């Protein structure tokens, strides 16, 4: 007879759980036969003891089977998605989904909202008048057929066990567990029904994973999980020590994404976008040049089609913040670093992010990077422009930036390639 206490004790002591035991656990938890405090204790045991490959595979499968799967079989194009672990200024999805669609794929991107210093794709798109991310499965498939790309909120029916487990992890200090992170992300992505998936695993001060070794382990774990569940999966490790692109916020990132789709994107943003697009197209079996789709205007037209299909007005003027403040260089020299975490926290304090999931966010608040690492600055020259709905927010934002801007007398080496490594198997 299986019982929760025995499973907790075994995992606590470094043992493994069988497939049948894991399946029983999820069924019993859904039926409230296993209490939240018991599941919390098991999550803590997993946090310290980890899971082996077989356990993690079955754990993820049980999370998927706790809800529905999106059936994308009516979609005639090859389906491929991308997931980012989150960063500062990471508006790649807004560019990438229509870009890959313009190349001939269907991109069913189920995204989320931001929390803390990392922005959420849906919060950015909410800045567009009329845009809706709450779509039925039928409407999602219809938009995929019509526009080739959709960016929507994951429905409550996809991997519902993940929401319950994440809520427990959030209040028990067990979020930072690689097996639990990997199963959380991949259960939703596999349930989404895509044939192929590329993961953008951020590493650096502004990323969830600060160290290369842990980021690589997470990427490898997720690639393995995807392939074990029949999804062609690859991952890129990308740097998140400085903001990606020049804009950090919601409306400001939409504006920068449109500029990128029109051929005027910052080099670091486009380097990451093209690397992800090329890998997505390779997994989908499509031979196309994403740079040509930007140059021809096809990617921008795909963006406009996607926004219109989801009720938005791609021509609408986005809301502008009524208050701005410029942060200038304290000395003359070279901008050696612009800390992504500091900039992200500052944007959050300006109103662009939220501390709790239910908090509202400002569409107009954010930061524009007027200089990037490697630039020569003179004393008093603008480095950042802060934007807010309430000027009383500037003081707290400036505190977050206190150590974020580093200017040195000697010219630093060129910024490293933002794309670190490709992981395919």
Query: Is residue 13 packed enough to be buried (19+ CB in 10 Å), middle (13-18) or exposed (0-12)?
Result: exposed
Report the C-alpha gap between 112 and 98 in whole angstroms. 18
386 and 333, same structural domain? Answer: yes
Which of 255, 283, 309 is where one domain is finished?
309
Residue 392 forms part of a structural domain: yes
The pLDDT of residue 274 is 98
Residue 241 forms part of a structural domain: yes
Number of domains the chain contains: 3
339 and 289, same structural domain? Answer: no
- Residue of 169, 232, 239, 349 with catalytic role: 169
- Residue of 90, 123, 162, 339 with catalytic role: 162
261 and 200, same structural domain? Answer: yes
Catalytic residue list contains 229: no
109 and 11, same structural domain? Answer: no
Q: Integer distance in angstroms from the first to the last C-alpha of the chain?
A: 38
Catalytic residue list contains 69: no
Residue 349 forms part of a structural domain: yes
Nearest Cα to Cα of residue 59 among 83, 38, 39, 80 = 39
What is the CB neighbour count within 10 angstroms for residue 134? Answer: 10
Residue 358 forms part of a structural domain: yes
Biggest CA–CA distance in the chain, Å, is: 73
Listed in sequence order, the DSSP H helices in 247-339 are: 251-261, 267-284, 290-296, 298-309
The pLDDT of residue 154 is 85
Report the C-alpha gap between 372 and 325 in whole angstroms. 18
Nearest Cα to Cα of residue 88 among 234, 293, 248 = 248
270 and 352, same structural domain? Answer: no
The pLDDT of residue 358 is 74
Residue 59 forms part of a structural domain: no
- Residue of 84, 184, 257, 337 with catalytic role: 184
The pLDDT of residue 356 is 74
296 and 171, same structural domain? Answer: yes
The pLDDT of residue 7 is 97
Kindly report the CATH number assigned to the domain that includes residue 384.
3.90.1170.30
- Residue of 11, 57, 82, 83 with catalytic role: 83
Encoding tokens for residue 85?
Answer: 């672990």
Kindly report the CATH number assigned to the domain that includes residue 121.
3.40.1030.10
Catalytic residue list contains 83: yes
Report the C-alpha gap between 232 and 252 in whole angstroms. 34
Report the C-alpha gap between 148 and 382 in whole angstroms. 40
Catalytic residue list contains 188: yes
Which of 279, 309, 339 is where one domain is finished?
309
Residue 416 forms part of a structural domain: no
Dihedral sign (CA 50, 236, 223, 303):
positive
Which of 309, 341, 372 is where one domain is finished?
309
Residue 64 forms part of a structural domain: no
42 and 168, same structural domain? Answer: no
222 and 291, same structural domain? Answer: yes
Residue 62 forms part of a structural domain: no
Report the C-alpha gap between 35 and 33 in whole angstroms. 6
Report the C-alpha gap between 389 and 166 in whole angstroms. 32
- What is the extent of the structural domain holding 17? 4-50
Encoding tokens for residue 205?
Answer: 């001060």
Q: Mean pLDDT for each consecutive 10-residue tract of the chain (425 residues)?
A: 93 97 97 96 97 97 95 96 95 98 97 78 96 95 97 89 91 92 95 97 95 97 97 98 98 98 98 98 98 98 98 96 98 97 96 82 97 97 98 98 96 93 92
Encoding tokens for residue 238?
Answer: 């990308």
Report the C-alpha gap between 340 and 245 in whole angstroms. 11
372 and 271, same structural domain? Answer: no
366 and 301, same structural domain? Answer: no
274 and 162, same structural domain? Answer: yes
Catalytic residue list contains 162: yes
Kindly report the CATH number assigned to the domain that includes residue 17.
1.20.970.10
The pLDDT of residue 355 is 75
- Residue of 82, 117, 188, 304 with catalytic role: 188
pTM: 0.96
22 and 89, same structural domain? Answer: no
Q: Which residues of 55-91 are buried (b: 16+ CB within 10 A; e: fewer)?
A: bbbbbbbbbbbbbbebebeebebbbbbbbbbbbbbbb
């Amino acid at each position: 007879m299986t019982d929760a206490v025995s499973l907790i004790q075994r995992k606590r002591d470094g043992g493994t759980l069988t497939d049948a035991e894991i399946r029983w656990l999820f069924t019993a938890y859904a039926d409230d036969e296993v209490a939240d405090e018991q599941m919390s204790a098991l999550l803590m045991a997993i946090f310290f003891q980890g899971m082996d490959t077989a356990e993690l595979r079955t754990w993820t499968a049980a999370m998927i089977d706790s809800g529905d799967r999106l059936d994308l079989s009516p979609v005639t194009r090859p389906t491929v998605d991308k997931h980012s672990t989150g960063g500062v200024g990471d508006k790649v999805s807004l560019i990438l989904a229509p870009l890959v669609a313009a190349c001939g794929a269907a991109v069913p991107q189920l995204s989320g909202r931001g929390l803390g210093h990392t922005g959420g794709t849906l919060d950015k798109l909410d800045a567009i008048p009329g845009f809706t991310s709450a779509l039925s499965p039928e409407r999602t498939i219809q938009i995929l057929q019509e526009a080739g790309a959709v960016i929507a909120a994951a429905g409550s029916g996809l991997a519902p066990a993940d929401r319950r487990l994440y809520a427990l992890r959030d209040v028990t200090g067990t979020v930072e567990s690689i097996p639990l992170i990997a199963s959380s992300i991949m259960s939703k992505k596999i349930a989404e029904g895509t044939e192929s998936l590329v993961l953008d695993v951020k590493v650096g001060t502004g990323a969830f994973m600060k160290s290369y070794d842990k980021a690589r382990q997470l990427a490898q774990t997720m690639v393995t999980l995807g392939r074990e569940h029949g999804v062609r999966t690859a991952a890129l490790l990308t740097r998140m020590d400085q903001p990606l692109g020049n804009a950090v916020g919601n409306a400001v990132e939409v504006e920068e994404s449109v500029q990128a789709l029109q051929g005027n994107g910052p080099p670091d943003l486009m380097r990451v976008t093209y690397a992800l697009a090329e890998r997505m197209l390779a997994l989908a079996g499509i031979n196309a040049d994403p740079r040509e789709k930007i140059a021809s205007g096809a990617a921008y037209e795909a963006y406009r089609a996607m926004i219109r299909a989801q009720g938005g007005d791609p021509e609408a003027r986005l809301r502008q913040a009524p208050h701005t403040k410029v942060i200038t260089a304290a000395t003359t020299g070279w901008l050696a670093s612009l800390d992504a975490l500091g900039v992200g926290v500052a944007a959050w304090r300006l109103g662009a992010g939220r501390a709790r999931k239910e908090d509202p966010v400002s569409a107009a608040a954010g930061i524009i990077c007027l200089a990037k690492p490697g630039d020569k600055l003179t004393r008093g020259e603008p480095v950042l422009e802060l934007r807010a709905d309430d000027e009383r927010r500037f003081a707290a934002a400036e505190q977050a930036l206190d150590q974020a801007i580093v200017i040195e007398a000697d010219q630093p080496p060129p910024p490293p390639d933002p794309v670190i490594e490709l992981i395919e198997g």
